[in-house]
Amino acid sequence: MLVTGDVLLDPASFRKLAVAITAAAVVLLAFWAIGRRRRGVSDEVSRRTSATTGRP
């Protein structure tokens, strides 16, 4: 059984845990960005901004 204290004390396990958490965060961020782009949120924001400021 893996105990949290063992992971935090063992440098190799801690490094693996840190890499896994970082990789998961990168994947989630990529999916979020792709979904945002597909929905056209950035286009909508630019349209709204140009409508309120009068600039293209």
Tokens 């792709």, residue located: 34
Global pTM?
0.52
Total domains, the chain: 1
For the chain, the residue count is 56
The burial class, CB within 10 Å (0-12 / 13-18 / 19+), for 9 is: exposed
The answer to whether the CB of 29 falls within 8 A of the CB of 35 is: no
pLDDT digits (tens, 9 = 90+) for 1-56: 456 666 566 788 888 888 999 999 999 999 998 888 777 665 555 566 555 665 55
Burial 10-35 (b: 16+ CB within 10 A, else e): eeeeeeeeeeeeeeeeeeeeeeeeee
Residue numbers of the domain that contains 34: 4-53
